[in-house]
Amino acid sequence: MLYLWLKALHIVAIVCWFAGLFYLPRLFVYHAMSEDQLSRERFQTMERKLYRGIMMPSMIATLLFGIGMIAMNPGLFATGGWLHAKLTLVIVLIGYHHLCGAQLKHFARDENNRSHVFYRWFNEFPVLLLLAIVILVVVKPF
């Protein structure tokens, strides 16, 4: 029963984390397009609160609940090649998360040198990761 609770909480944490991963780069799009100081300051506040208040705790919760599930079922490592692939993609996702944090710092220092078009493309990457991770977990192709 504990395993099912961990899985449920893991899924909730993932949903919250991905909500932030989808929304923060969208804020970057609008921030890059903003022309007045008041708008830039507003976006800086929104980005900081989203990253620190939602994304970081959600990422940590996702990882902790996931580690808990693996600890309860370590046999998955021996038979679940899909799990190795999923964990590799999760590492990439953590890198993307921290890349978002680095971009947030550039905006906070008014040092952004990328266009809104870059951030529109940047925003699509977590969609691809989510698609691949869900397919690996549900289909378990190997």
Q: What angle do CA 80, 72, 140 make, to 5 degrees?
A: 20
* Per-residue buried b or exposed e for 62-89, using 16+ beta carbons within 10 Å of the residue's own CB: beebbebbbeeeeeeeeebebbebbbee
| Domain ranges, residue 20 | 1-141
Residue 27 near residue 46, CB atoms below 8 Å: yes
Q: How many domains, in total, are found in the chain?
A: 1
Neighbours of 59 (CB within 10 A): 21
pLDDT tens figures, 79-125: 879 999 999 999 999 999 999 999 999 999 999 999 999 999 999 99
pTM value is 0.94
- Residue-averaged pLDDT of the chain: 96
